Structure 1
Amino acid sequence: MNVLLIYPEFPDTFWSFKHALKFVRKKASFPPLGLLTVAAMLPAEWSKRLVDVNVARLTDENLAWADYVFISSMVVQRTSAQHIIARCKKAGVKVIAGGPLFTSEHEQFKDVDHFVLNEAELTLPPFLEDLSNNCAKRVYSTSCFADIRETPAPLWELANLKQYASMSIQYSRGCPYHCEFCNVTALFGRSPRTKTTEQVIAEVDSFYRLGWRGPVFFVDDNLIGNKKRLKDELLPALIKWQSEHVPIPFNAEVSINLSDDEPLMQMMSEAGFDTVFVGIETPDADGLAECNKKQNKNRNLVEDVRRIQRAGLQVQAGFIVGFDSDTPSIFQRQIDFIQKSGIVSAMIGLLQAPAGTKLYERLKQEGRLLGQMSGDNVDGTTNIIPTMDADILRDGYKRILRHIYSPESYYQRIKTFFREYKAPKIKVRFTFNHILALFRAIYHLGIVGNGRTQFWKLLLWTSFHRRELLPLSVTLAVYGYHFRKVSKLHVL
């Protein structure tokens, strides 16, 4: 059996980093973790090939070789997934589809032969058994959650790791919080399930043996969902692993209550974590109450961010405008919060309602849905009818992006961040690509860029005040270049 695993293309989004990746000669941020994990669950005797169209072209020869195509997709990859399925249909290759897009919208894909939905650990085995008996159904789904202690390590050897800027790994699924706009609990539940420490270390070892020495992203929706197990088991093991190998940096998604636990932050830093993404959403108390973001309420969020930064963890964050409780004052309040907190990578989006969320169901009952969401957090679209005038909302949103990603505001925010930030304990290994990236940054940002004056002022300020952070200042400057490109493409 010849199986072709295909991963659709990501459009030009905030998190694609397409414009930044060119500086380090990489084609994509991450390899397809879910698809490679599914590959490890398929029969060992099957021949398997991966085509990630973010890094390689899908050819007619690829499709001619395949007996079956397995495709996994996120919502933001919908357009590319549709094109790939159409090509498979034309080539006469049967398609098996899974992942978040199809779990939410499988009724929209008439040309897919079989859907393996929800968690593949539960739905893939019965499909494979039926397939071997020539009686495979069209849809396999479940309302149960898998024991991920049984999940195999991904088949990293199918991917060309040199094409990627970072690796990815999963420790847990599920989140203890239930924010109205988030579909994580619908997909994975509210009780975080974790892999064993031995599993995680084995996965780190697997791509380390393949030569990987770059950053690694823990894709968990909330790494600290089970604090006790994280502190008692995983972090001590990662600290030990780092001491015995060439250290590699980690980053993760967490909730803001990380700032309440100084020992946990210190352990994360010692284990190699240097960046965390936090869902801030809004500085407005009414907005937080509306979306059930209870973990963010009754806090000094700016000081929470600073405590995390002072522990050696850069804070990236997500923000939303368009809550029912928002008034036109929210736009300046978001700008002020982002600038004051020194959150350099600030993702701002209009409120969207993913299928399966409490928000989706509420707005459906109110007759305020506008169809499918794009899946892109920063393209200036929404699938809901807001209570605020739509033109005021859209103009205010554009004003936020124009301000926070203007070179003057962006570079000032880096300096605000550096004044608080404790340099991480794990030092990034410099490669020839990093040297090339520096020269590209000097040319694109310091010679021909619109913000070249601010770029050189930042490097000069960093050289005098935080010289050890000079490489990070260049990295963040490159990120800003990408963010400005994306913002101009979609909404400015």
Structure 2
Amino acid sequence: MNVLLIYPEFPDTFWSFKHALKFVRKKASFPPLGLLTVAAMLPTEWAKRLVDLNVTPLKEKDLAWADYAFISGMIVQRKSACQIIARCKKAGVKIVAGGPLFTSEYEQFADVDHFVLNEAEVTLPPFLEDLSREKARRVYMTTEFADIRKTPVPLWELADLNRYISMSIQYSRGCPYHCEFCNVTALFGHRPRTKTAAQITAELDRFYSLGWRGSIFFVDDNLIGNKTSIKTGLLPELIRWQQEHVAMSFHTEVSINLADDVPLMQMMVEAGFETVFVGIETPDEDGLAECGKKQNKNRDLIEDVRRIQRAGLQVQGGFVVGFDSDTPSIFQRQIEFIQKSGIVTAMIGLLQAPPGTRLYERLRKENRLLGQISGDNVDGTTNIIPSMNIDTLQEGYKNILRCVYSPEHYYQRIKTFFREYKPKKTDAPLDVRRLLVLFRSIFYLGILGKERVYYWKLFVWTYFHHPRLFPLAMSLAICGYHFRKVCELHVFSRKKCDS
């Protein structure tokens, strides 16, 4: 059996980093963790190839080789997935589809031969068993949650690791919180399930044996959902592993209550974590109450962010506008919060209601749904009828993007962050690769870029005030270039922000 594992292309989105990739000569941010995990669950005697459309095109000879095409993706990859399905259908290749996109919308894909939905550890074995007997059904789904302590190491050897900025790894699934707009608990449950620390170090060993020495993103929706597990199991093993190898840098997602646990932050930094993404959503207490974000309520969120920064972790943040409780003042409040907090990477989106969420069900009953979500967090679209006038909401949203990603505000935010940030280790010296990236940033941002005045101000300020953060400053400048390019696609207007 010849199996072609196909990963759809991402459009130009906030997290694609497409405009930053040219600086580092990479093709994509991350390889397809889910597909490569599925590959490890397939019979060893099957021949397997990966085609990630984010790094290489799908060729006719690939389709001619394949007996089956396994496709997985997220909602934001819908358009590319449809194109792949059409090509497979035309080539006569049987299609097996799974992952978040198809779990949410499998009824929309008439040309898919088999759906293996929900968690593949549960639904893939019966599909493979039925397939071996030539009695495979069209749809395999379950309400059961997998024991991920039995999940195998992904087949990373199928991917060309050199084409990516970072690798991915998963320690847990599920989240103890139940925010109204989030579909994590619908997909993965309310009780976090974890792998063993030995599984994680085995995955790190595999990366290491393949020559990877770069960053790794822990894709958990909330790594600290089970604090006991990471404090007594994962982090001590990561610290030990890092001491025995050339250290790698880690990034992940956490809830804001990380700020309450100084020992936990210290352990994370010692283990190699450098950046955490936090769902802050809104500085408005009514908005937090409305969406069930109880872990963020009654807190000084700016001080929380600063505590995490002072512990040696960069904070990236997610923000939302469009709650029923929002008034037109929310737009300026969001701008002010983002600027004061020093959250350089701020993802701001309009409220959307993914299928399976409590928000989706509430708005369905209120006849306030408008169809499918785009899956793009910052494209300015929504699938709900908001309480606020839609024109007011969209223009206010665009103004947030105009402001926080204008060169003036963005570069100022880097300085605000650096004044609080207390990293526990010095960045690696400028080797040949980093020097080439620096020269490209000077050319594209410092010479050709419209932001060149702010770029050079940051360049000089960092060099004299925070010299050991200089590589990070240049990295953030490059990311800012990408964010501005993406925002320009959706803001449309170039007028100066109203702030």
Determine the C-alpha separation between the residues in 2 that align with 1:428 and 1:371: 48
Aligned amino acid, residue 216 of structure 2: V
Determine the C-alpha separation between the residues in 1 that align with 2:194 and 2:246: 26
- CA deviations over 1:303-342 (Å, ceiling 9, x no partner): 0000000000000000000000000000000000000000
Report the counterpart of residue 295 of structure 1 in structure 2: 295
Structure 1 residue 221 and structure 2 residue 204: aligned?
Answer: no
TM-score, reference length from structure 1: 0.99
- Write out aligned runs for 1:329-344 (5 A): 329-344=329-344
Any conservation in 1 of the 2:339–2:409 contact (CA below 8 Å)? yes
Determine the C-alpha separation between the residues in 1 that align with 2:5 and 2:369: 34
Q: CA deviation at 1:489?
A: 1.1
Report the counterpart of residue 40 of structure 1 in structure 2: 40
Determine the C-alpha separation between the residues in 1 that align with 2:231 and 2:177: 19
- CA deviations over 1:212-254 (Å, ceiling 9, x no partner): 0000000000000000110111101111111111111000000
Report the counterpart of residue 268 of structure 1 in structure 2: 268
Determine the C-alpha separation between the residues in 2 that align with 1:240 and 1:117: 37
Report the counterpart of residue 388 of structure 2 in structure 1: 388
Structure 1 residue 442 and structure 2 residue 448: aligned?
Answer: no
SS at 1:279 equivalent: strand
Any conservation in 1 of the 2:427–2:468 contact (CA below 8 Å)? no
- Write out aligned runs for 1:431-470 (5 A): 431-470=431-470
Aligned amino acid, residue 290 of structure 1: E
Structure 1 residue 477 and structure 2 residue 477: aligned?
Answer: yes
Determine the C-alpha separation between the residues in 1 that align with 2:427 and 2:120: 37
Report the counterpart of residue 251 of structure 2 in structure 1: 251
Report the counterpart of residue 360 of structure 2 in structure 1: 360
Determine the C-alpha separation between the residues in 1 that align with 2:356 and 2:424: 38
Report the counterpart of residue 211 of structure 1 in structure 2: 211
Report the counterpart of residue 74 of structure 2 in structure 1: 74
- For the structure 1 residues 236 and 399, does the alpha-carbon distance in structure 2 shift closer, same or farther, using more than 3 Å as the test? same
Any conservation in 2 of the 1:247–1:427 contact (CA below 8 Å)? no
Any conservation in 2 of the 1:256–1:280 contact (CA below 8 Å)? yes
Report the counterpart of residue 157 of structure 1 in structure 2: 157
Any conservation in 2 of the 1:278–1:316 contact (CA below 8 Å)? yes
SS at 2:318 equivalent: strand
Any conservation in 2 of the 1:117–1:123 contact (CA below 8 Å)? yes
- Write out aligned runs for 1:391-430 (5 A): 391-425=391-425, 427-428=427-428
SS at 1:50 equivalent: strand
Report the counterpart of residue 496 of structure 2 in structure 1: none
Segments of 4+ moved more than 6 angstroms: none
Q: CA deviation at 1:431?
A: 5.0
Q: CA deviation at 1:463?
A: 1.2
SS at 2:253 equivalent: strand
Any conservation in 2 of the 1:313–1:424 contact (CA below 8 Å)? no
SS at 1:308 equivalent: helix
Determine the C-alpha separation between the residues in 2 that align with 1:180 and 1:257: 19
RMSD (Å) for aligned C-alpha atoms: 0.8
- For the structure 1 residues 431 and 144, does the alpha-carbon distance in structure 2 shift closer, same or farther, using more than 3 Å as the test? farther
- CA deviations over 1:231-280 (Å, ceiling 9, x no partner): 11110111111111111100000000000000000000000000000000
Report the counterpart of residue 379 of structure 1 in structure 2: 379
Structure 1 residue 317 and structure 2 residue 328: aligned?
Answer: no
Determine the C-alpha separation between the residues in 2 that align with 1:361 and 1:127: 31
Q: CA deviation at 1:451?
A: 1.0
Determine the C-alpha separation between the residues in 1 that align with 2:262 and 2:356: 35
Structure 1 residue 28 and structure 2 residue 17: aligned?
Answer: no
Q: Which runs of 5+ in 1 are unaligned?
A: none
Any conservation in 2 of the 1:36–1:154 contact (CA below 8 Å)? yes
SS at 2:6 equivalent: strand
SS at 2:396 equivalent: helix
Aligned amino acid, residue 252 of structure 2: A
Any conservation in 2 of the 1:29–1:165 contact (CA below 8 Å)? yes
- CA deviations over 1:48-71 (Å, ceiling 9, x no partner): 000000000100000000000000
Report the counterpart of residue 495 of structure 2 in structure 1: none
SS at 2:70 equivalent: strand
Aligned amino acid, residue 440 of structure 2: R
Q: CA deviation at 1:7?
A: 0.1
Q: CA deviation at 1:424?
A: 4.0
Q: CA deviation at 1:425?
A: 2.7
SS at 2:54 equivalent: coil
Report the counterpart of residue 85 of structure 1 in structure 2: 85
Aligned amino acid, residue 66 of structure 1: A
SS at 1:203 equivalent: helix
Q: CA deviation at 1:435?
A: 1.9
Determine the C-alpha separation between the residues in 2 that align with 1:368 and 1:431: 55
Q: CA deviation at 1:3?
A: 0.2
Report the counterpart of residue 98 of structure 1 in structure 2: 98
Determine the C-alpha separation between the residues in 2 that align with 1:51 and 1:430: 34
Q: CA deviation at 1:437?
A: 1.2
Q: CA deviation at 1:428?
A: 4.5
Determine the C-alpha separation between the residues in 1 that align with 2:220 and 2:435: 32
Determine the C-alpha separation between the residues in 1 that align with 2:111 and 2:325: 42
- Write out aligned runs for 1:175-214 (5 A): 175-214=175-214
Determine the C-alpha separation between the residues in 1 that align with 2:430 and 2:90: 46
Aligned amino acid, residue 433 of structure 1: R
SS at 1:468 equivalent: helix
Any conservation in 2 of the 1:249–1:273 contact (CA below 8 Å)? yes
Report the counterpart of residue 5 of structure 1 in structure 2: 5
- CA deviations over 1:358-381 (Å, ceiling 9, x no partner): 000000000000100000000010
Q: CA deviation at 1:464?
A: 1.5
Q: CA deviation at 1:429?
A: 7.1
- CA deviations over 1:371-395 (Å, ceiling 9, x no partner): 0000000001000000000000010
Determine the C-alpha separation between the residues in 2 that align with 1:442 and 1:424: 28
Determine the C-alpha separation between the residues in 1 that align with 2:121 and 2:420: 43
Report the counterpart of residue 170 of structure 1 in structure 2: 170
Identity %: 75
Determine the C-alpha separation between the residues in 1 that align with 2:361 and 2:443: 50
Determine the C-alpha separation between the residues in 2 that align with 1:412 and 1:274: 21
* Matched pairs, number: 492
Determine the C-alpha separation between the residues in 2 that align with 1:475 and 1:183: 32
Aligned amino acid, residue 243 of structure 1: Q
Determine the C-alpha separation between the residues in 1 that align with 2:342 and 2:150: 41
